[in-house]
Amino acid sequence: MVVSQADSTASVGWIEHQTLEHIKGALRVTVDARGPQLSQSRRAASICFVLQSFCRHLERLMRIEEEDGYMADVAEVNPCLSQRIRALALDHHDFRERVRELAPRVEAVEHWDEAEFAAVCEEIRDFLDRLDHHDEAEIRLLQEALTMDEGGEG
């Protein structure tokens, strides 16, 4: 069996999506962790650790989607979807900006009071929710692209 470059790229993209889903779950668990045995500094260190992994994988996945993935291929085959693809690419830009803002705030945890810590945890939750909506929009777009009738014989 011969595996095409497109199939290989799709496979890598799928693996990266699954990896990111696991890391998002770990980040949610870490942000939501509670208990008297967890000091704020310990919890913040754990959040920082998981957030670093999350940021690396998110950047890797976005780069795969933009350079080797679906964006250019779908736009070429289905030009009517180009505007939605541009919107998703703009999301990528916004995600990169948000990560650049969030990561240093998490790393500066020793200077936080409890209210600031809670606020940053809520920002992380909001960011993850926004990323979930983005992922759902990508899936809908890909499903639509795969089921579009390109015309031809009638």
* 70-83 per-position pLDDT tens digit: 777 777 888 888 89
DSSP SS3 for 137? helix
Q: Stretch 139-145: mean pLDDT, rounded?
A: 85
pLDDT-derived band at 107, boundaries 50, 70, 90:
confident
Q: Is 153 helix (H, G, I), strand (E, B) or coil?
A: coil
Helix (H) or strand (E) holding 129: helix 114-147
Q: Which of 94, 98, 91, 13 is nearest to 57 (CA)?
A: 13
pLDDT of residue 11: 65
Look at residue 106 and tell me whether its pLDDT is greater than 50.
yes
Q: Which pLDDT value is given to residue 49?
A: 93
pLDDT at 12 exceeding the cut of 80: no
Task: Mark out the alpha helices in the chain (DSSP H runs).
Answer: 5-32, 40-63, 70-77, 82-107, 114-147
What six digits make up the tokens of 115?
Answer: 């209210």
